[in-house]
Amino acid sequence: MENSRIGIIGSGSWATAIAKIVTDNGHPIIWWVRQQSNIDYFTKRHHNPHYLRNTYFDISQIHFTASIQALVDESDIIVIAVPSIHIASALEGIDPSALKNKKIISAVKGVIPKYNILLNEYLAKQFNVSVENYFTLLGPSHAEEVAAEQLSYLTFSGLDTAATKMIASNFETEYINTRINNDVLGVQYAAVAKNIYALGAGIAHGLEYGDNFLSVFIANAANEMDCLLSALMQSNNKELEKKNHTASVYLGDLLVTCYSLYSRNRTFGNMIGKGYSVRAAELELNMVAEGYNASKCIMAMKDTIQVDLPIIKAVYQILWEEHDPAASFKEIEKTLV
C-alpha cells in the first residue's frame, strides 16, 4: 500500500487538516473540491479560501478535481471527510460499482440523517462496499491543532489488523501518533454520541454552570455513552467483548469535544444556552454541528436499543422540541451521580 493513490473528498477544516497530514508524510493526493472557483483560489494562493487559511500547501503534491467520479477512478484509498448531512449529495453521480475494491476511510463523525445509519452501512447499501474495505479515522483531534502541528493522536479502526496498520502508516508524522483497534461500529457511535454530549456541555456553559458541575456532567455522559455503546453492540449481534471505553478514541474524544473552545458542538450549545434559537445558532456558527442531527438519529434508535439516555434525551428535547434549556438542565441535575 506504499504507493497507493490517496483521494480526499471534502474541503472543510478537517478535510484540509487531513490533506496536510498526508502531504506532509510525502504522499501526493487527489483532492475533490466541489466548486471550481475554490480550486482556482487554492491553486493560486496555495491555501484553502475558507478554512485553516494559514495552512499552506505544496501544490505540486495535489491534483485537484471538481469531479467526484474522477477522484474515485484515480484513487486506491479514499478518505471521506464531509459532514454526514452532505454525504448523499457529495457521492451523488458515482457509478454504483466504482467503489469496488477501493479502501474507504471514514473521517465522518455522524449518522446519515435521512437513514439513521452509519457511513459503512450507507456505502454497503448504495455502493456494495464491504466492511472489510472500510476503515475509520477518529480523534481526539481538532483541525486547528493539527494545522498548527501540535501533537495529536489518531485512531484507525478496521476489521483486518494488518490492513489497518498499513492504512495508518500513511498518516504518521512528527506531530501525529496513530493507534489502531478493530471496533469499527463502536468508535463511530462514540463519535456520534460525544458530539451530542458536547452540545450539552455548551448549553450548560451558556446557562452559566461552572466547572464543578461540568465535570459531573461529563463524567455522567461518559457512563451514559458506555451504556449506549454496549447496547448498540448487542443490538447489532456483536459479541460483547469488553472494550476499553476510557481509551482516547472514546473518552479522550468526548473530553476534548466537551471542553475545547475549538469544538463547534460546544460552541453551538453555548449559543443555545445563552438564548439563541437553533436557526440563529446555525447562521452564527456557519459550520455544521454534527451533534444537532445526531441527537435526533439516536432518539429515533432509542426504542430499538432499549437503553435509558437521559442526557441525550434532554439535549434532543431542547434542540428539536423547543424545551426550555434552563428547565431541562434542572431535570438533568436530578439524574447526575
Question: pTM for this structure?
Answer: 0.91
**CA–CA separation, 7 vs 68, rounded Å?**
10
pLDDT for 241 equals 56
How is residue 138 written as a grid cell?
477518529
**CA–CA separation, 278 vs 104, rounded Å?**
33
pLDDT for 2 equals 55
Spatial CA neighbour of 19 closest among 6, 35, 3, 34: 6
pLDDT for 38 equals 93
Q: Which is it for the CA torsion 145, 148, 153, 155, positive or negative?
A: positive
**CA–CA separation, 232 vs 301, rounded Å?**
9
pLDDT for 222 equals 97
**CA–CA separation, 69 vs 73, rounded Å?**
6
Q: Give yes or no for a contact between 202 and 195, defined as CB atoms under 8 angstroms apart.
A: no
Q: Give yes or no for a contact between 64 and 29, defined as CB atoms under 8 angstroms apart.
A: no
pLDDT for 109 equals 86
pLDDT for 316 equals 97
Q: Which is it for the CA torsion 10, 15, 20, 25, positive or negative?
A: negative
Q: Which domains does the chain have, with CATH numbers?
A: 6-182 (3.40.50.720), 185-335 (1.10.1040.10)
240-271: string of b/e by CB count within 10 Å (b at 16+)? Answer: eeebebebbbbbbbbbbbbbbeebbbbbbbbb
Other CB atoms within 10 Å distance of the CB of residue 133: 21
183-220: string of b/e by CB count within 10 Å (b at 16+)? Answer: bbbbbbbbbbbbbbbbbbbbbbbbbebeeebbeebbeb
Per-residue pLDDT of the chain (337 residues; tens, 9 = 90+): 457 899 999 999 999 999 999 999 999 999 999 899 999 999 999 999 999 999 999 999 999 999 999 999 999 999 999 988 899 999 988 998 999 889 999 999 888 888 888 999 999 999 999 999 999 999 899 999 999 999 999 999 999 999 999 999 999 999 999 999 999 999 999 999 999 999 999 999 999 999 999 999 999 999 999 999 988 887 765 554 567 888 899 999 999 999 998 899 999 999 999 999 999 998 888 777 889 989 998 998 877 788 899 999 999 999 999 999 999 999 999 999 9
pLDDT for 219 equals 97
**CA–CA separation, 198 vs 192, rounded Å?**
10
**Packing angle of the helix pair 310-320, 184-206 (nearest 10 deg):** 60
